[in-house]
Amino acid sequence: MAKKQESGYKWTQHSSAAGVLFGSSFLFISPIIGGLGGFLTGSNTGSNAMFIKLQIQTAGQVGLSPDLISFAQNASSSYSTMACPFRVMLGASLCKIQSEENRLLTRISLIVLGDIGLIICPVP
């Protein structure tokens, strides 16, 4: 799917729009995009397949380091896979605590949001 979109110039259009919309603040938006991909797919590889081209092209357009944006995408995506609903459901069913799924999902999601916040915040 990512290759098909790449060949159809979709990524170029999306990255241009993201570059205009966010500018240099894209550095703070990038981990959120990666985190969303990890949460939705439950896979760091799946998230990177969907979003890494957008992230790198947008970084180039706004003058940010593509490596830095790639690191943010990859780290936030890998953390967010923990809170993927079907992973939480699998863990709850294996531990025979299906009634606790919502509570577990809420708590793990808060932890993941904290992790993404740490990625977003610059550390001196």
* pLDDT at 57 exceeding the cut of 60: yes
**pLDDT score recorded for residue 12:** 63
* pLDDT at 122 exceeding the cut of 80: no
Higher pLDDT, 22 or 42: 42
pLDDT digits (tens, 9 = 90+) for 61-112: 889 999 999 999 999 999 999 999 999 999 999 999 999 999 999 999 999 9
**pLDDT score recorded for residue 2:** 53
**pLDDT score recorded for residue 76:** 96
| Rounded Cα gap, residues 32 and 24, in angstroms | 15
Domain hosting 109: range is: 2-120
Q: Which of 1-10, 31-40, 45-54, 114-123 has the lowest mean pLDDT?
A: 1-10
**pLDDT score recorded for residue 54:** 87
Number of domains in the chain: 1
| Rounded Cα gap, residues 119 and 30, in angstroms | 10
Average pLDDT, the chain: 86
Q: What pTM was computed for the model?
A: 0.81
**53 contacts 6 by C-beta, under 8 angstroms:** yes
**91 contacts 85 by C-beta, under 8 angstroms:** no
State the average pLDDT over residues 31-51: 95
